[in-house]
Amino acid sequence: MTIQLYCQQCTRMASRSPTRSHAPPRRRRAAVATARSRDADPTTRARDADLTAAARIRDAALRRFAAAGVRGTSIRDVAREAGVSAGLVQHHYHSKQGLRRAVDEHVVQRATAAFAVPTAGARPDESALRVGRRISAFVRENPDAFAYIGRSLVDSDAPGT
């Protein structure tokens, strides 16, 4: 027998057997969330509070991929970092490759937003200074994305593989 459930964030159906639940008991889930929020710095807690489960998972994957590389990170590692079950990660992204694609798209969106406005109309030295400031601001505001890009280059990972 299978129970059909709806995911609150993406409104897709999810199937689960009533005899075997992958979710921990409510008390444990609350204790894990409380411990995680105590350990996280205030900036991370504030940022994560506004995110959907899918975005929290994607950001956790970005941090884990940056720290350990894509090959060195499992779906369980990402789930633990995000404070969710591995089943929820697979529900939203289907596979590690799907999660990698979502992280790649997110990093490209952040970089595009940071560098989309051209610096035309200035002298070359002023233009170079503006570009340098944009790069510095991007690295400062997106340290995980920058570390992820660097790690991908070191590991010789092609995007989306």
Q: What is the pLDDT of residues 35-93, one digit of tens each?
A: 444 455 555 555 555 689 999 999 999 999 999 999 999 999 999 999 999 999 999 99
pLDDT at 36: 47
* Helix (H/G/I), strand (E/B), else coil: 5: strand
pLDDT in tens, 114-157: 888 776 677 888 888 888 888 899 999 999 999 999 998 888 77
pLDDT at 125: 83
Domains annotated for the chain, with CATH where assigned, are: 25-155 (1.10.357.10)
Over residues 8-33, mean pLDDT: 50
Over residues 105-109, mean pLDDT: 94
Length of the chain: 161
Cα–Cα–Cα angle for 143, 145, 150, rounded to 5 degrees:
95
Task: Tell me 157's DSSP state.
Answer: P
* Helix (H/G/I), strand (E/B), else coil: 9: coil
Nearest CA-CA partner of 95 in 1, 5, 161: 161
pLDDT in tens, 42-56: 555 555 556 899 999
31: pLDDT strictly greater than 50: no
Report yes or no: 29 and 83 within 8 Å, Cβ to Cβ: no
